[in-house]
Amino acid sequence: MALTTSEHAQTQTHTAQLPQVTEPRNPGMALDLDWVARVQANTSAIERRCAALPARRSVKKTHQAAWLLKAVSCIDLTTLSGDDTEMRVGRLCAKAKHPVRAEVLQALGMDGLTTGAVCVYHEMIPAAVQALQGTGIPVAAVSTGFPAGLSPFHLRLQEIKESVAAGAHEIDIVISRRHVLTGNWHALYDEMKQMRDACGDAHVKAILATGELGSLRNVARASLVCMMAGADFIKTSTGKESVNATLPVTLVMLRAIRDYFDRTGYRVGYKPAGGISKAKDAITYLALIKEELGDRWLQPDLFRFGASSLLGDIERQLDHHLTGAYAAGYRNPMG
C-alpha cells in the first residue's frame, strides 16, 4: 500500500505539527448506557482480521520510506524512567527536533521533519518546555497517579492542573480500571469528565490500560465511555503493563472511534503505546488506521505512537533505503 500524491504532499509540508489543531475538540455528550450495553466484540473475527493484515499490507522501497517518515511525525518521543534528569530530557528534545540525520532527510526531501510531541513526567515539564521553545512541538505529561492511577482522586485532579500550569500542552491520564471491571460506567464517565475539565485547554489522552481490562468488549465499552466524557484521544497502555498495544485492541478502539464519529461528528485521536519497536510494526498500525478510519487520522493531531525505541529502527530502515546497508548504532543516537 502506497501513500497517495496528496498524502505525500501532506507529509512533506507537515514540519511543525502541533498545536496547530484544525479539528474542533470533542466536547463529549451525555452518558448513553443503552449504547454502551449494545457494544460487543467478536474476538475470533477480530483476531483473524488482525492476523492477516501484516502480510496483506506489506510495502517496499520508496513507499516504505514514505510511510516511515509519516510514522516519525506521529511519535510521542518518551522518557518515563525513575532516573530521568533535565539533561536526559534535553537530549530527548534535541532528538525530537531532529529525529533523523540531516543528510538523510535532505536526500529524501523532508527537511524540517519533527516528532509529534515529547512525553515526560510532571517534574520534567519545565526542562522540556524550555528545550522545545519556539519549535511548535508540544510537551505531553503523564498524570493522575501514573501508571496505576490509584492515588486520591483530588490529588490526581490537582496533578493535572499543576502540569498544565507548568506548560504541558497535552495530559496523558490513566483511568481507574476497577470501574471497567465492575461495569460501573457512571463512575468512569464522571471521573473522565472531571479530568477533562481539569485539563482546560490542554488536550487529554485517556489511557485505558487495555491489558488489564479483561476482554475486548470491555475495551470497546471503556473507549466509548471515555469519548462520551470528552477525551481528545484514547490510548492503549501506560507501557508499564505486561500486555500493551496489540492489533486486536487497536482494531476494537478504532471501530469505537469510528462509531463515535458517525454518531457525533467529532473526531477522537488514537495512541497505541508500549511494545511497538519495529518499523514494520509501525507500518502495519498505520495501514490499519488508513483502512478503518481514513486518511484524516494519519496526522499527528489524531494519531500518535507512544514509543522511543521505534525511532531507532525507523532510522536504520531509512539508511538502508538510501545506501543498501544498515547504519551502526552510534550513527543514530537518541540525543
Environment class of 199 (CB within 10 Å of its CB; exposed 0-12, middle 13-18, buried 19+)? buried
First-last CA distance in the chain: 32
Annotated active-site residue in 172, 232, 301, 319: 172
Query: Grid coordinates in use for 323?
Result: 545506501
CA distance 31 to 19: 29
Residue 205 bears catalytic tag? no
CA-CA-CA-CA torsion sign (27, 30, 33, 35) = negative
Specify the pLDDT at position 54.
Answer: 82
pLDDT at 17: 44
| Active-site position among 95, 235, 301, 319 | 235
CB 258 within 8 A of CB 224: no
Q: What pLDDT does 7 receive?
A: 47
Distances (CA, A) of 231 to 9, 64, 114, 188, 282: 30, 32, 25, 12, 24
Sign of the CA dihedral 305, 275, 52, 219? negative
Identify whether 161 is a catalytic site residue.
no
Measured from the Cβ of residue 112, the count of other Cβ atoms closer than 10 Å reads: 12
Q: Please tell me the predicted confidence (pLDDT) of residue 123.
A: 97
pLDDT of residue 334: 64
Q: Which of 20, 2, 135, 138 is nearest to 70 (CA)?
A: 2
pLDDT at residue 327 in the model: 76
Closest by CA to 74, choosing from 137, 129, 122, is: 137
What is the distance between the alpha carbons of residues 62 and 103, in angstroms, rounded to a whole number? 17
pLDDT of residue 293: 97
Spatial distance between the Cα atoms of 307 and 240, rounded to a whole number of angstroms: 12
pLDDT in tens, the chain (335 residues): 545 444 444 444 444 444 445 689 999 999 999 999 999 999 999 999 999 988 776 788 899 999 999 999 999 999 999 999 999 999 999 999 999 999 999 999 998 999 999 999 999 999 999 999 999 999 999 999 999 999 999 999 999 999 999 999 999 999 999 999 999 999 999 999 999 999 999 999 999 999 999 999 999 999 999 999 999 999 999 988 889 999 999 999 999 999 999 999 999 999 999 989 999 999 999 999 999 999 999 999 999 999 888 999 999 999 999 998 887 776 777 65
Res 158: pLDDT = 98
What CA–CA distance (Å, rounded) separates 144 from 60?
42
Q: Which of 76, 271, 313, 319 is catalytic?
A: 271
State the pLDDT at residue 55. Answer: 77
pLDDT at 57: 65
